[in-house]
Amino acid sequence: MLEAIAICLPILGVPVDGERLQEDIADELAGSPGGAAIPENAQGVGDPFPSGLDLDWLGSLADNLRFTMDLSGRFEYDTGREEWSISQFYGFDLFKVLSGPKGDYATILLQGFATRIDNNPAPPWFFDSPTDWEWVYRMFYINWKLLPRDALNLKVGHFEMPFGLEMLIDTNGTLRQVGTAPNLGIKADWGVTLNGVSNGLEYEVGLGRGSGNEWKAAGSPYALVGRVGTDPTRGWWVGVSGFSADLYRPGTTIERRRIGFDAGMELGAWTLMGEVSGGRNGQDDALHALGELNWRDSTEHWFGYGQLRTLKQRMGGNSWEGTFQSVLGVEWAPDTHWTLSAEWVQNLQRGMNDSRDSSIRLQARYRF
């Protein structure tokens, strides 16, 4: 049965949003779960974030429980607009393992953030204006174990799209992103997934509402997504993903179809990874590709990365239009509370004004 599930994980078409900047912002607002680089089955009862609050006063309720406050501020300067934009995030992160006489039977991950944007030129659709407050859900789900050894689990709630590199690395609240939202048109959604490990393959396939941060049913949106890949803890991996969706937008829906492939290899302190996917945005052809080389020092205080990424769309069978960018980023985590990061994004193709715009992003994050 499990083999059948893995085999039948569809290579479904995947949704992508056409407005690059809007979805790039949404990509960063909705992060992947903390510890996403570590499979849930490998997290056990340990605390993936040692900066959690002391909850011993809760007695037995504190067993296998972590609660952390997560605060961050982000500043971005765009050379094209010659203006700064600011984002602020004030949230919490709760992680709980439910256990019984026969062992662990479920994990709960709840992440919610009061989010403030200022002077944002293209806010995600669920913000009312370029300067606004909204409550944003990142991960907000329970994952039930249906079969032993994580062969089959049922996840219910708000989850990240199991597509490509997003399923493997932790982009929760970080500047570093792999382009899931601009590519698919959505990064996290309300719904259900089946996930697990079978015969050395990790898989997750899910059905979502197709409306992202908020539950919206107008227009009958949906998102069907899935990925199956080899075990990344071996030092290398390959994966295949699919996505098919009609995504909610105010007053309408947008159609996205994708099939994607990802791969990576660890070389000591270095990791080389990449992802490519193609499909359709409505009636137009679409293409997304990303390559990354990153390095982490032995103390794990410093992390650096470089990316080349492109997102193209061929409208009406004409020439390809879109973005081609280079990214250089660095993160410094002096302790288990603070993370300071910076990123430079350079457009490599000339825009309409015959210039190559760039942006500089800075972020300070504190967890306690």
Residue length of the chain: 368
Q: Classify burial at 5, counting beta carbons within 10 Å of its beta carbon; exposed 0-12, middle 13-18, buried 19 or more.
A: middle
End-to-end CA distance of the chain: 43
pLDDT recorded at residue 358:
94
Whether 176 contacts 295, CB under 8 Å: no
Name the residue type at position 7: I
Among 110, 126, 99, which residue's Cα sits nearest to residue 34?
Answer: 110
Q: What is the DSSP letter of 31?
A: P
Give me the DSSP letters along 280-340. Answer: EETTEEEEEEEEEEEEE-TTSSEEEEEEEEEEEEEGGGS-EEEEEEEEEEEEE-SSSSEEE
Overall average pLDDT of the 350-364 stretch: 78
Q: How many CB atoms lie within 10 A of CB 80?
A: 14
Q: What is the DSSP letter of 50?
A: T
Least confident of 43-52, 294-303, 320-329: 43-52
Name the residue type at position 138: R
Query: Is the entire prediction scored with pTM above 0.75?
Result: yes
Among 351, 4, 22, which residue's Cα sits nearest to residue 185?
Answer: 22
Domain layout of the chain by residue ranges: 2-272
> Looking at the predicted structure, is the pLDDT value of residue 237 above 50?
yes
Give me the DSSP letters along 199-260. Answer: TTEEEEEEEE-S-TTS---TT--EEEEEEEEE-GGGSEEEEEEEEEEEEEETTEEEEEEEEE
Give me the DSSP letters along 65-125. Answer: EEEEEEEEEEEEEETTTTEEEEEEEEEEEEEEEEEETTEEEEEEEEEEEEEEEES-SS--T
CA atoms of 290 and 178, how far apart (whole Å) = 7
Return phi, psi of residue 55, to 5°.
-115, 20
> Looking at the predicted structure, is the pLDDT value of residue 6 above 50?
no
pLDDT recorded at residue 29:
53
Among 270, 264, 188, 272, which residue's Cα sits nearest to residue 231?
Answer: 264
pLDDT recorded at residue 27:
52
State the CATH class of domain 2-272.
Answer: mainly beta
Whether 75 contacts 86, CB under 8 Å: yes
Average pLDDT of the residues of the chain: 86
Of 152 and 171, more confident = 152
Overall average pLDDT of the 274-279 stretch: 98
pLDDT recorded at residue 52:
57
Give pLDDT tens digits for 102-111.
899 999 999 9
Decide: helix, strand or coil at residue 8: helix
Of 145 and 64, more confident = 145
Among 205, 204, 225, 221, which residue's Cα sits nearest to residue 213?
Answer: 221
pLDDT recorded at residue 26:
53
